[in-house]
């Protein structure tokens, strides 16, 4: 069964009375000619690698090759150890886990591209933090991660999830939307609310450009990850109150695609404008290239 839009997904789910992850894992199994159990096994490998990346990142303050990043996760942990977050433990966990993963990525550690390496901290930080706090078991975590994957898959049918193609809205933006959906699934929301969470998160990130300094996945990428992890929680909270996006999700994806097309190539991973070409961005670039 081919599902290409969220509307189709919703229809199939309500017709069969199944959850998003159930439909998604059945289709994935069928497409790859493997069993549902085997699909879940592959997802489990990603989930475990996400947790390993978080733990490695939490314990390291090694700098990246460029020297632009590394050490902020440690700073944040130290701060929370002496002065806890206004917003509580989940906020602390999401922000530190996201930084941990992204810094780990920049120092050539092992991470899970979800959907991309630059956005690798967003889905894991939300999923793992909340799962720890509500003591969700592994099966529930896998269900949530499959939900995230299905959301990303449907979006990627229309928009290639690459900064070079559609800007950061298609990387970190989509990751935040996936995280919002995963969180809603983890909290046992119905399909309407799950898709609302996705819509609200995605809608709010349209237009996000990709302008990395020195062309490296560090500035602004790394700090963007904790921000967009928290952003996903906001989307989930609103959605679980029954707040809907007035623009349907599939149309938001149309807008994502169009915005990506209209975005200047200079703001799509080419480092020709934006932060990369600020006075300081140019200076950092000169320093970096004189060194390598």
Question: Which residues of this protein are in contact with ligand SF4, per CB under 6 A?
Answer: 116, 118-119, 163, 168, 171-172, 210, 212, 217, 220-221, 269
Tokens coding 52: 């390993």
Question: How far is Cα 165 from Cα 260, in angstroms, rounded to an integer?
Answer: 7
Among other proteins, ligand SF4, none, residue 191 binds (CB under 5-8 Å by kind): none
Residue (of 214, 192, 225) closest to 276 by Cα position:
214
Report the nearest approach of ligand SF4 to the CB of residue 232 (Å).
Answer: 15
Distances in Å between the Cα of 193 and the Cα atoms of 21, 115, 185, 204, 245 are 14, 22, 9, 17, 10
Tokens coding 164: 């070079």
Among other proteins, ligand SF4, none, residue 10 binds (CB under 5-8 Å by kind): none
Report the nearest approach of ligand SF4 to the CB of residue 277 (Å).
Answer: 14
Among other proteins, ligand SF4, none, residue 120 binds (CB under 5-8 Å by kind): other proteins
Report the nearest approach of other proteins to the CB of residue 234 (Å).
Answer: 22
- Residue 24 near other proteins by CB under 8 A: yes
Q: Helix, strand or coil for residue 210?
A: strand
Tokens coding 43: 């997802």
Question: How far is Cα 254 from Cα 260, in angstroms, rounded to an integer?
Answer: 10
Among other proteins, ligand SF4, none, residue 165 binds (CB under 5-8 Å by kind): other proteins
Determine contact, residues 123/148, Cβ cutoff 8 Å: yes
- Residue 125 near other proteins by CB under 8 A: no
Instruction: Considering only residues 93 through 112, tell me which ones interact with other proteins, judged by CB under 8 A.
Output: 104-112
* CA-based torsion, 255, 230, 239, 151: positive or negative: positive
Question: How far is Cα 1 from Cα 263, in angstroms, rounded to an integer?
Answer: 34
Instruction: Considering only residues 50 through 69, tell me which ones interact with other proteins, judged by CB under 8 A.
Output: 64-66
* Residue number, 84 or 261, with CB nearest to other proteins: 261
Question: How far is Cα 285 from Cα 292, in angstroms, rounded to an integer?
Answer: 11
Interface pick for other proteins out of 51, 218, 228, 252 (rule CB under 8 A): 218
**Rounded to the nearest 5°, which phi and psi values hold at 67?**
80, 0
Determine contact, residues 163/210, Cβ cutoff 8 Å: yes
Q: Which residues bind other proteins (CB under 8 A)?
A: 2, 4, 24, 27-28, 31-32, 39, 42-43, 45-46, 49, 64-66, 104-118, 120, 123, 145-146, 148-150, 152-153, 156-157, 160-162, 164-165, 178, 214-218, 271, 288, 292
């Amino acid at each position: 069964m081919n599902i290409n839009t969220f509307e189709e997904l919703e229809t199939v789910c309500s017709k069969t009375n199944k959850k998003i992850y159930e439909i998604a894992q059945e289709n994935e199994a069928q497409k790859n000619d493997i069993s549902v159990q085997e699909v879940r096994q592959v997802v489990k490998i990603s989930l475990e690698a996400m947790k390993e990346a978080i733990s490695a990142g939490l314990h390291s303050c090694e700098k990246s090759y460029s020297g632009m990043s590394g050490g902020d996760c440690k700073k944040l942990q130290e701060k929370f150890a002496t002065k806890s977050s206004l917003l509580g433990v989940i906020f602390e966990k999401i922000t530190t886990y996201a930084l941990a993963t992204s810094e780990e990525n920049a120092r050539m550690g092992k991470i899970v591209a979800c959907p991309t390496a630059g956005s690798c901290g967003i889905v894991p930080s939300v999923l793992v933090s909340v799962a720890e706090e509500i003591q969700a078991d592994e099966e529930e975590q896998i269900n949530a991660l499959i939900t995230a994957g299905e959301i990303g898959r449907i979006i990627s049918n229309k928009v290639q999830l690459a900064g070079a193609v559609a800007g950061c809205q298609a990387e970190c933006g989509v990751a935040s939307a996936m995280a919002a959906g995963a969180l809603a699934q983890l909290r046992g929301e119905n399909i309407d609310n799950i898709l609302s969470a996705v819509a609200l998160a995605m809608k709010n990130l349209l237009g996000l450009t990709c302008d990395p300094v020195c062309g490296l996945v560090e500035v602004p990428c790394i700090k963007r990850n904790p921000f967009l992890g928290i952003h996903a929680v906001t989307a989930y909270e609103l959605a679980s109150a029954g707040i809907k996006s007035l623009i349907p999700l599939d149309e938001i994806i149309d807008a994502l695609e169009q915005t990506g097309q209209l975005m200047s190539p200079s703001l799509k991973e080419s480092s020709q404008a934006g932060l990369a070409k600020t006075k300081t961005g140019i200076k950092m670039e000169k320093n970096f290239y004189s060194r390598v």
